[in-house]
Amino acid sequence: MLRLLALLMICGMATVAQAYDQRWPDYGVSQVERGSSGGTSYFQGFESPCFGPPYQPGAGEIDWVRYYSEVVRVPSGSSSIPSRNGFNHAELVPPLPTAPGTNTGAYTRLGGYRSNFGGGYTVELDVYFDLGDPRVLSGINADYGWDATSAINDQSGGHRRDFIFHAASNTSGQILVGTSNTSSFAPVTNLAAGPHATISSTGWYTLQWVFRDAGDGSLAVDMNLLDGSGVTAFSQTLNDPSDVIASVIGGNRYLWFVFVQSPRIAVDNVRLNSAVREALFASMPTPGAALNAGSAVLGASAPGVALEVQNQGSLRLEICSCAITGPDAADFSVATCPTLVAPDTNQLLNISCMPSAAGLRSANLTLVTNDSRRGTDFNYPLLCTGIDPNAVNLGVPVPGPQRGALWLLLAAMLLAGILAIRSR
């Protein structure tokens, strides 16, 4: 009886803490319809050098927002953590010093909020559980922890309910994972008292939310924890009969880290109805080949040359920058950069040259992309030739390097003939 009373008190405290208020991202915001959640997809693998989320959401922001925390793209191997896929992942860190109250965690709008359930959908996130985290090693119960929630909207596009994964350390150097609909904005101290998973090895795991019909017309959410091999390590289904799909339930809202009590949390591959995707860069001509823009008189434009960029992957290719460096960089320019290239399509980058001096002009073009397999930087030598219109042309052919020997021979023969005539 006492244990039941204690559990009820804990649940009641969590419910009070969970009361939907200004601490929540996009509090009171009902977004415009962006189609059904079941018929759309979103993926963020943090491979793009363009990634740099705002601290506060803009009107059209559909990706990550730092809020009062940080979400930073880092290369594989940072803090001795290899990326789950590709060359980069992200780190979430504790709140900024200016964070008001408990408004801390970064979040993503998963490509935009929706008010149409669309038959159901799945949200997934790869997260790195690090048993070497100093807060896990402290031996203090719940010294380490975080909450990650994926919320659903009602049919007006407003917030309906959160579905939360709780992670908290225990006194044995392990991390426990449980689920609920409520958060106290602090690590849960009694996860071992209810259904939970025990993380006993460091590595990448997947948090998975499956939003579906419970079979009676109400919403059910399967909260699954998958290990690095994709095997289900833990599963719990949350259901409230009042969440009637036909009249109440809408589409996806955010994926939000409510708080982070750790030096860093590594995350990768955030997705809605999507497998892990990648952009694959290719070009004609291939990287390393020289691009010759032709010749022009000084101050005029050379004919130019086009570089065909191809995306052979399943994710939108982002060309974040086209940097031109080298001795004559100021003579060259690239049109339509930065740019985006859809999967299985191509796009031309037109390269121009306006030579500022006579002779061969040279530079180097570097394209910086979100390719997660072949590399992020691709280089091309740039060439063009400047012609000085004021150069004097005497009409006397100037021997080139290949004709030098012949000219010397002819000159010697001519000199020998002159000497022979004089000797007579």
DSSP string computed for 359-400:
EEEEEEEEEEE-BSSS-SEEEEEEEEEEE-TT----SPPPP-
User: Of 14-18, 205-209, 358-362, which gets the smallest average pLDDT?
Assistant: 14-18
What is the token pair recorded at 280? 């694959």
- Of 248, 272, 296, which residue sits at a domain end? 272
260, part of any domain: yes
406, part of any domain: no
DSSP E strand boundaries for 109-228: 121-129, 145-154, 159-169, 175-180, 197-199, 203-213, 218-226
> How far is it, in rounded angstroms, from Cα 127 to Cα 208?
11
Are 95 and 204 within one domain? yes
Are 169 and 311 within one domain? no
109, part of any domain: yes
% of the chain surpassing 70 pLDDT = 84
| CATH number of the domain where residue 242 is located | 2.60.120.200
Average pLDDT in the chain: 88
What is the token pair recorded at 19? 């009361």
Domain with 128 in it: 22-272
pLDDT in tens, 116-152: 999 999 999 999 999 999 999 999 999 999 999 999 9
> How far is it, in rounded angstroms, from Cα 323 to Cα 410?
50
pLDDT in tens, 6-60: 344 344 434 344 577 778 888 888 866 667 899 899 999 999 999 988 887 766 7
> If pLDDT is split at 50, 70 and 90, which confidence band does 176 have?
very high
Are 291 and 262 within one domain? no
SS3 199: strand
What is the token pair recorded at 88? 């980069």
| pLDDT higher than threshold 80 for residue 403 | no
Q: What average pLDDT does the segment 286-298 reach?
A: 98
> How far is it, in rounded angstroms, from Cα 131 to Cα 134?
8
Are 230 and 358 within one domain? no
How far the first Cα of the chain sits from its last, in Å, is: 138
Please report the pLDDT score of residue 111 as a whole number: 93
Please report the pLDDT score of residue 103 as a whole number: 56
> If pLDDT is split at 50, 70 and 90, which confidence band does 408 have?
very low
Q: Interior CA angle at 401 toward 398 and 402, to 5°?
A: 105
183, part of any domain: yes
Please report the pLDDT score of residue 419 as a whole number: 44
Are 231 and 149 within one domain? yes
Supply φ then ψ for residue 329, to 5 degrees.
-55, -35
Query: Does residue 319 contact residue 338 with C-beta atoms inside 8 Å?
Result: yes
Question: Which position has the higher pLDDT, 63 or 22?
Answer: 63
402, part of any domain: no
Are 192 and 69 within one domain? yes
What is the token pair recorded at 85? 């896929």
Q: Which amino acid, residue 247?
A: S
7, part of any domain: no
pLDDT in tens, 335-357: 989 999 999 999 999 999 999 99
Query: Does residue 290 contact residue 383 with C-beta atoms inside 8 Å?
Result: yes
Please report the pLDDT score of residue 99 as a whole number: 65
Are 220 and 338 within one domain? no
Please report the pLDDT score of residue 417 as a whole number: 52
Helix (H) or strand (E) holding 9: helix 2-18
| CATH number of the domain where residue 356 is located | 2.60.40.10
pLDDT in tens, 65-111: 988 888 999 999 999 999 999 999 999 987 766 666 555 789 999 99
Are 242 and 345 within one domain? no
Are 260 and 302 within one domain? no
> If pLDDT is split at 50, 70 and 90, which confidence band does 291 have?
very high
**Taking the model in full, what pTM does it have?**
0.84
Are 253 and 370 within one domain? no
What is the token pair recorded at 237? 């289904």
16, part of any domain: no
Query: Does residue 183 contact residue 19 with C-beta atoms inside 8 Å?
Result: no
How many folded domains does the chain comprise? 2
Are 289 and 348 within one domain? yes
| pLDDT higher than threshold 90 for residue 211 | yes
420, part of any domain: no
